[in-house]
Amino acid sequence: MSQAASHTPAHALPSYLHSDRLGPWGIYLQQIDRVTPYLGHLARWVETLKRPKRALIVDVPIHLDNGTVAHFEGYRVQHNTSRGPGKGGVRFHQDVTLSEVMALAAWMSIKNAAVNVPFGGAKGGVRVDPKSLSLGELERVTRRYTSEIGIIIGPSKDIPAPDVNTNEQVMAWMMDTYSMNEGTTATGVVTGKPIDLGGSLGRREATGRGVYTVGVEAARHLGLEVAGARVAVQGFGNVGSIAAKLFAEAGARVVAVQDHTGTLYRESGIDIPALMFHVKQHGSIAGYAEAEPLPSDAFWDVPCDILIPAALEGQITTANAARISARLVIEGANGPTTPEADDILAERGTLVVPDVIANAGGVTVSYFEWVQDFSSFFWTEDEINARLVRIMKEAFGAVWSVAQDKKVSLRTATFIVACTRILRAREMRGLYP
């Protein structure tokens, strides 16, 4: 029986989910179960967190370049808006499902509350492989999807951002489409925009910088020296490449990198700027000659001190958790570790800095971008990075104290801090009508 199925009886599932195909939503529900005993009187509101406030499913039809019409499934889920408007990325991927977007939206609620930015949690996705589309087709998918979800997004309602396979250009098209429909230029409707369209300096690097910042804090608590530490990174996109670059600049050796096309290993450390340049030219790490290619499953056996999963969810499982030699796992990706794998890592003494704090740097600078757009006053990159680092360090410090105090994992501690904030807001607002 799958972990999701075995978990089902405790929860009244909405009719639109299948108990045997809960995917990441099943993992999220287990995380909520783990935090509930620590919520005190607020536990009476915990059901609020076990269902999304709103889920919109849209059809996205476009003309393909070959003259035919293709239809794609699109979603926008607003998990919780007790603390502010929805906020969360948009993913373009052929495997996107409603339950995945629901889980990603819920993790955004937790993340935004954990770093105390005034947003609820939301997420969107289109079930499409963007690599199979021409640039024109990608633009048409983006514009039609934005137009379809336009009824629930907006600068003070729900603000999308980039996620897997979406970037500044996609955000520019989303901003333009929403603005055209509204009849006014609404820069604040999305974050992660190009700088020339109201984007923020430092946003592109923010998630990786946040991963690095909390990683250094966690390493300090472990007595692990970053200079000379061996780092393995799964996923070499926005998050993974920047985190790898910052660790390398701090003197760490990035010994292994994996993306969807392959795995590279170099004991003395991979030249990260050179690999980034290769990816820019060729689209992936495949064919990079200055490191040894490994079979993809061997990635988990690579001797390392720090492991950064920065690709997709469900990567660290019972099948590989016991093979991981790292003392520190910093979750750049959302939901990379299953609850069972979490337990195995804990038993082995591996410290896991969970996604809901580790990758919150992106949404933190998205918050700065939104504030700058509203005030039409833009900050310097140094100011942005300094504020980001301060928020990440403070949030990590608070979570660390709760973990020590309650003798729980950093994940449960982050959920305690975040769920308390969300449910306190819920309680103070009361039920409408």
Q: What are phi and psi of 123, to 5 degrees?
A: -160, 155
Active-site position among 123, 245, 280, 393: 123
Taking alpha carbons only, the member of 233, 219, 231 closest to residue 310 is 233
User: At a CB cut-off of 8 Å and minimum separation 6, what does 394 contact?
Assistant: none
Assess 354 for contact with ligand NAD (CB under 6 A). no
- Residues annotated within a binding site for NAD(+): 207, 238
Among 32, 189, 312, 413, binds ligand NAD (CB under 6 A): 312
Q: Which of residues 196-215 bind ligand NAD (CB under 6 A)?
A: 207
Is 359 an interacting residue with respect to ligand NAD (CB under 6 A)? yes
Binding-site member from 99, 112, 165, 200 for ligand NAD (CB under 6 A): 165
Per-residue three-class SS string for 78-129 = EEECCCCCEEEEEEEECCCCHHHHHHHHHHHHHHHHHCCCCCCEEEEEEECC
| Nearest-angstrom CA–CA distance, 154 and 226 | 42
60: β partners: 72
Candidates 332, 337, 364, 395: give the one binding ligand NAD (CB under 6 A): 332
Annotate each residue in 367-406 with x if it binds ligand NAD (CB under 6 A) or - if it does not, as one string.
----------------------------------------
* Contact between 164 and ligand NAD per CB under 6 A: yes
Asked if 234 is part of the footprint of ligand NAD (rule: CB under 6 A), the reply reads yes
Binding-site entries for substrate? 87, 111, 366
In this structure, is the dihedral angle defined by the CA atoms of residues 252, 394, 52 and 353, taken in order, positive or negative?
positive
Window contacting ligand NAD (CB under 6 A); options: 53-61, 113-121, 244-252, 256-264 = 256-264
**Range 379-385, long-range pairs (CB < 8 A, 24+ positions):** 379/200, 379/201, 380/201, 381/201, 381/202, 384/200, 384/201, 384/202, 385/202, 385/209
- State in angstroms the smallest separation of the CB of 172 from ligand NAD: 16
280 is known as an active-site residue = no
Residues noted as catalytic: 123
For binding to ligand NAD (CB under 6 A), which residues are involved?
A: 162-165, 207, 234-240, 258-260, 310-312, 332-334, 359, 362
